[in-house]
Amino acid sequence: FSEITTRITERKSGPLEVGQADGIACRSIEMFEAFGFAEKVLKESYWVNEVGFWRPNPDGTGLHRADRIQDVEDDLSEMPHV
């Protein structure tokens, strides 16, 4: 995509040690489709279908999944969250 000019600005001094914004929203995939490269992104990505919520165990020995919900509401976009 040599015709697209980009600039990445990052304040961090090095690579991330843990995840941060490690997904791509449905609306962003829609924009990628307009630029003609959504299919390539979708082929290389994992689709996020649900979100889990974790809480500490009452006895303090670890975590348990407290809930899980559908990631993207129905009919929000024809593209997935990846």
Burial class of residue 26, CB neighbours in 10 A (0-12, 13-18, 19+): middle
Residue-wise pLDDT for 15-71, tens only, equals 777 777 778 999 999 999 999 999 999 999 988 889 999 999 999 999 999 999 998
Which DSSP category does 4 fall into? -
Is pTM beyond 0.85? Reply is: no
Instruction: Round to whole Å and give the CA distance between 77 and 24.
Output: 13
More confident residue, 9 or 60: 60
3-state DSSP assignment of residue 52 = strand
pLDDT at residue 41 in the model: 94
Region of poorest pLDDT, from 2-11, 59-68, 72-81? 2-11
Give the residue extent of every domain in the chain. 26-70
pLDDT at residue 3 in the model: 87
pLDDT at residue 62 in the model: 94
Instruction: Round to whole Å and give the CA distance between 43 and 35.
Output: 16
